[in-house]
Amino acid sequence: MSNVEKLRRAYQMWHDSLGRNHEAWLAILDEDVVMGSLADGAAGMKFSAPRRGHAEVRRYFAELAEDWEMLFYNADEFVETGDRIVMIGRGAWRSRKTGKEVESPLATVWRFRDGKAIEYFEFYDTAKAYFATQPEEVRR
């Protein structure tokens, strides 16, 4: 199975389970995978802190589920060049603390080696996500 096909399947399972099933991700990640996020662990977004290895990736999913409920996650397009794959899509989440919903374009950048993902970095509208974590309406 190609790396793009592995990602397609994992994203579909992620969407179908509304973010509850992360085992498909662990199956394609190298034991020493490095994960990062544009939010970089900022206030209200602790789940997005940099991670390395399966144990920390599991913590990422636990912290994400603690604070956010997935509404949908669509992986619309994959662009592959060499050992890198970029996924372009759209997703929506609800803050469990405030009940506010946020929808954003998404891009994830993957790097594979020997059929396993060794790097992952996610891009999304961090401002919208941050504002959704705030208990009072904050003007943008």
Residue ranges covered by each domain of the chain: 3-133
| Helices (H), ranges, 29-125 | 53-67
Residue 66: CB atoms within 10 Å: 11
Structure token pair of residue 5: 């096909």
Q: What is the pLDDT of residues 111-124, one digit of tens each?
A: 999 999 999 999 99
Q: For 134, how many CA atoms within 13 A lie in the half-sphere containing its CB?
A: 12
| 121 touches 37 (CB < 8 A) | yes
pLDDT in tens, 12-46: 999 999 999 999 999 999 999 999 999 999 988 99
- What is the maximal distance between C-alpha atoms in the chain? 47
Whole-structure pTM value: 0.91
**CATH class for the domain made up of 3-133:** alpha beta
